[in-house]
Structure formats: structure tokens, C-alpha cells
Amino acid sequence: MNKEQITLKTIFALILDKKSPLIYGQIVTILAILVSIPVPLMLPVMVDEILLEKPSYFVGSINYLFGETSPFYYIAIVTFAVIFLRFIYYALSVVITKIFTKISKHVTFMVRKKLLLHLKSASMNEYETLGSGAITSNLITDVNTLDNFILTSTSRFISSVLTLVAVGVVMIAIDPLLGISILIIQPLIMLISKKMSKRVGSLKKEENQAIEKFQNTLGETLELYGQIKASNKESYFFSSTVDDAKNIQITSNRYEYKSVAYEKLSYTIFLIMFELLRASGILLVAYSDLSIGMMFAMFGYIWFIMTPVQDILSMQYSYSSAMAALKRLNKILDLKSEKTGSSRIDSHDVDISLKDLNFSYANDKNALENITLEIKHGSKIAFIGASGSGKTTLAQVIAGFYEKNSGSLTYNGIETEDLDKTSLRQKIFLVLQMPILFNSTLRFNITMGDESVSDEEIYAALEIAQLKEMLEGMKDGLDTIVGHHGIRLSGGQRQRLSIARMVIANPSVVILDESTSALDAHTEAKLHIAIKPILKDKTVITIAHRLSTVKNADMIYILDSGAIVQKGTHEELKDEEGHYVEFIKNQLL
Ligand SMILES: Nc1ncnc2c1ncn2[C@@H]1O[C@H](COP(=O)(O)OP(=O)(O)OP(=O)(O)O)[C@@H](O)[C@H]1O
């Protein structure tokens, strides 16, 4: 087991962080129990002491405090006392809930924080094995399940057990036979009804699955609405969504009527047992010395212990769901962290070297095979190859996004494992083919939140990226919101924005992965001219399909099925039989 994992022990330790509220909470809980226990007893006692004229403790105490008075006042005083105790109980319950909610929210916050901090350093390869959907649901739903368990176990478990013990003592003192019968029968009935609710649990599961499937289909249908219309597939997609909606109707129908039937059945069993206990109570009054008042008190306690019994029984369910949630949460903590060291790249110049490097995406076959190459600082390199040959993968491994499986990857002679990854990312900038933007302002998307960048610098970067005209057309200028994933910008505008981001970041190594593929030839040419001085002293790795883009590179690497199959300058390769000649031929077609 990974030592980082969250276990019950971890949770317990987090609860103990709040030691004083915890102790205070338990003291208030005991007070609340002490206040609530006499309540069901007080008015029934009046039956004996007033109606059956057998004055005892209560009447005696009232006489002592207020002097002898009439039955009306005796009953009124006790009623006020009961109401008062109920209010006190209410106030104490609020305090208890406040204390324990605070404790459970502290624990769940710490759990969320631990998971987020782990995610922050998870390696990309590992992160992709779970995906954003599962992680989001873990961080929200599973942590909430845990929250529920912590709240109920810290606040209600001890109080329920203590209440049952206290009531048990009182009931046995009143009448041992009836007391023990109630203490055995009541939980037994609750257990039976719990078992019944388990049966409907599987129906609820079916309903939930149907809802989840509907949500997924609906989500995808709505997200790809435009594409569905463009491919004239509305009928197909919407009819399968309607089928999923129908499935919700069927499963909900089954679940809802059966759950009500079971609920009512278990309540009926409870009422029958209640009647039997009542009959036993009356028989005990008739044949033993149990008084009528005490009999009523016992009836009151049957209802009274319903809540603690229910709480204890539901704790088992809450415990098993919390354990299942923990298991899922620990999957996040099992994601291996990015290997990072403390060595930093201090110089501006970065020489990159790859030797016999292999890489595969999670358990797949190798996406990169025995890659060996040297990238000297300031050189201009190009990767070409068929679609799927591994160009982007290679660029991402060089940029430190993915971790190699074997071989060596060094920056200025420092192995990637020993390198502080933040220092690497300051030096390398990857301009993607399809940059995804934050749903924020243009300014934020260019500076990535770095407030030290002035508007003048941003305007200059936008001018180089050929976005000045676009900016002039926006009435909110740099404060224009770009929409979810940058939806309000065209593909070409997003690519240019990413280039502006690179200009601002001013890295030593720039990787351009088809970063101008969405531009028209005229804009692309202008951009190349504008960016040339910026790239002059930088290492530039270009991935491109156009001959004109790669022709002037110092070294061209040709990839096929994840391996370098040819390398050389344009001059060397153009006469060499192989992939490059094919590449040139294809450009001429
Ligand atoms: N995140 C990923 N998870 C799993 N496999 C992936 C992932 N990204 C790419 N691949 C696989 O790795 C191989 C190389 O993909 P890569 O994107 O590096 O190719 P490419 O040469 O850049 O292609 P293109 O020119 O189409 O962009 C492909 O077989 C692809 O299916």
C-alpha cells in the first residue's frame, strides 16, 4: 500500500487536529442526552401522581419549591418543564451540529487539499489513466460521502450509543421485563426494515445507472450538436437520447413504487410490534406492579429510541460507502508523481540530448522507439512524418510533459529525473496546434495570470503574432472574454494567441507543433517574418507538413511508427532515397 494513501487512521488523525472542539462536542452531547432522557417520563408520571393520586417525587418537589397547589398547576408546571427541556435540547443539538460540522469540513478540506496537491505533481502519463471526469467526480461526490460518514460517526455514533445505554438503564429500572423486550425488539424491527431497504437499494442502483447513461449521452449530444447537425445525424443521436430517457422512466417507476411498498411494510411491522408491546404493557399493569403512568412512559421510550437505533444501523451503510469512496480517492493518490529533482538549468542556453529513448502511453505499445538525437542550443530542427508517426509525442517528451520509459534525456547534461521541472518549463515553450484557452480575458490568456507583464508588452506580442487587427475590432480590447476553451476565437486566432503567449514567455527553446496550420498563406508568411528576430537566438523545433517550413532547418528528422528513419539537412536528404523524397513528391502533387 502506498504510504500516501488515506486510511481510517489518517482520517482519525485529521479529526484529532481539532481535539478541543471534539472534547467540547462530546461534553455538549452528554449534556444533551441528560436533558432529553427524562422528557418521555415526565408527563406520564403525572398520571400516577395526579390522576391516580399517588403523589411522589414530582408532586413532592413542586410542593417543596412552590408550595402545595392544584392538579392544574402541577400539570402546567411539568408541561412547562418538558417544553423548556425540549428547547434546551434543541439549542444543544444546534451547538453539537455546529461543532461536528466544523470538524468534518476540516477533514474533508484537508482530504481535498491532499488530493489536489498530489494531482498538481502527477505525471501526465498517469493522469491520463484516470481522466478529468473520474477525478472531478471523486473530488466532489466521494469526498462528500466521506464528509457524511465523518459527520455522522463523530456526532451521532457516541451520542446514539450513550442514549441507548441511558434509556436502557431507565427502562430496566422501571420494568426489567418490558424494558429488555423493548431493547431487543425495537432494534430487531429496525434491522428487518434495513434488510428490506437493501432490496430496493439494487433498484435504486439501476435507476442511478440509467440517469448516468442519460447524462453522458445527453452531454455528448449537446456538446457535439453542431457536428451532429453537419453530418445529418440528428435522428440517430436524439433517438438514442430518447431511449435513455425512456430507461429512466422504466427504472424510476420500478424503484419508486417498490420503495414506497417496502417502506410502508416495514412501518406496518413496526406498528404491529408497537401494539404487541403496548398489549404487554397493559398486561403488566394488570398482573404486576407496573403503574399506568410508567406504562405510558415505556410507550414513549419505544418512539424515543427509534432515532438512535436508526442512526447506529445506518452507520454501517455510511461506513461501507465511505470505504468505497476512500478506495476511489486513493486511486488518485496512487497516480505516480512526476519525477523531479533539484538541479536547475541556470544558463540561457540549453543543449538537449536524447539517447535510446523509449516511450509508451499507459500500457500501450511504444509510441517512441530508440530515439537518439542531439539538439544544440540555437539550432533549428524539424520533425516530419506521417500522421500518427509520433512527432507530437516526441515534442511533448522533450518539453517534459510525458516521462520516458527508458533511455536517457538530458538538458545541459542533467538527466530529466534530476531536474527541477519548473526550471525546465521556464526554458521550453510548446506552441500547440490546437491551443485550448481559459474562459477568461485575452490578457489572462496571454500572460497566464502574470501581472508583471505590461499592456505595452502584450500589444507588442500581439503585433508579432499578427493579432493587432483582431484586437482593434474588439471593443473590450485585452479585457475581451474568449469563451469556454476560447470558443469565441477562430482556430487561427487561437494559434496566434498561443504564439503571443510564447513571445511573452520568452523561452530558450520553442517547439512549434503545426502552430500555424490554421493560418492562410499570406498571414503565415507575415507571421514568419515578424517572429524571425524573436526566434533568432532560440532553439526552434518545428513540426510541420509543409516543405517550405522545414526546408531551412539545420537538421530534419523523419519519423515513422515512433522511430527516426532518416535525418539530415534538406540538401543531404533530397537526393537520398527514402521517406524524405516521398515527402517532397507529395508536396508537389
Ligand atoms: N494521449 C494519448 N494517449 C494514448 N495514445 C496516444 C496519445 N496521444 C497520441 N497517442 C498515440 O501515439 C501515436 C503517435 O501520435 P502523435 O500525436 O505523436 O503523432 P503525430 O505524428 O504528431 O501525428 P499528427 O501529425 O497527426 O499530429 C498515435 O498512434 C496516437 O494514437
Q: How far is the CA of 392 from the centre of ligand 1 (A)?
A: 7
Instruction: Ligand 1, residue 361: give the atom nearest the CA.
Output: 4
**pLDDT for res 425:** 86
For the segment 292-346, what is each residue's pLDDT rounded down to a tens digit?
999 999 889 888 888 888 888 778 778 888 888 899 899 999 998 888 888 888 8
Instruction: Ligand 1, residue 433: give the atom nearest the CA.
Output: 27
Rounded to a whole number of angstroms, the CA Rg of the chain reads 37
Cα–Cα nearest to 463, from 496, 428, 509: 496
Q: How far is the CA of 393 from the centre of ligand 1 (A)?
A: 6
Residue 391, ligand 1, Cβ within 6 A? yes
Q: How far is the CA of 454 from the centre of ligand 1 (A)?
A: 37
What is the architecture of the domain spanning 1-173+305-338?
A: Up-down Bundle (1.20)
Cβ contacts of 269 within 8 Å, gap of 6 or more: 189, 192, 193
Residue 127, ligand 1, Cβ within 6 A? no
d(CA 427, CA 415): 15
Residue among 389, 401, 513, 561 to mutate when testing ligand 1 (max atoms within 8 A of CB): 389
**pLDDT for res 392:** 92
d(CA 340, CA 350): 18
**pLDDT for res 31:** 95
Distances (CA, A) of 176 to 167, 171, 181, 436: 12, 7, 8, 73
> Structure pTM?
0.76
ipTM of the complex: 0.96
Residue 385, ligand 1, Cβ within 6 A? yes
Residue 384, ligand 1, Cβ within 6 A? no
**pLDDT for res 321:** 84
**pLDDT for res 356:** 95
Residues 364, 369, 370, 375, Cα dihedral to 10°: -110
Cβ contacts of 505 within 8 Å, gap of 6 or more: 429
d(CA 425, CA 500): 17
Residue 44: exposure state from Cβ atoms within 10 A (0-12, 13-18, ≥19)? buried
Domain spans of the chain, in order of start: 1-173+305-338, 176-289, 352-588
**pLDDT for res 436:** 79
**pLDDT for res 588:** 63
The CATH H-level (homologous superfamily) assignment of domain 352-588 is P-loop containing nucleotide triphosphate hydrolases (3.40.50.300)
Under DSSP, the state recorded for 481 is B
- Going by alpha carbons, the residue nearest to atom 4 of ligand 1 is 361
Positions in the chain whose pLDDT score sits under 70:
1-3, 363, 588-589
**pLDDT for res 1:** 53
Residue 126, ligand 1, Cβ within 6 A? no
d(CA 38, CA 486): 65
Cell 500518427, residue located: 388
d(CA 229, CA 487): 18
- Going by alpha carbons, the residue nearest to atom 27 of ligand 1 is 387
Under DSSP, the state recorded for 487 is T
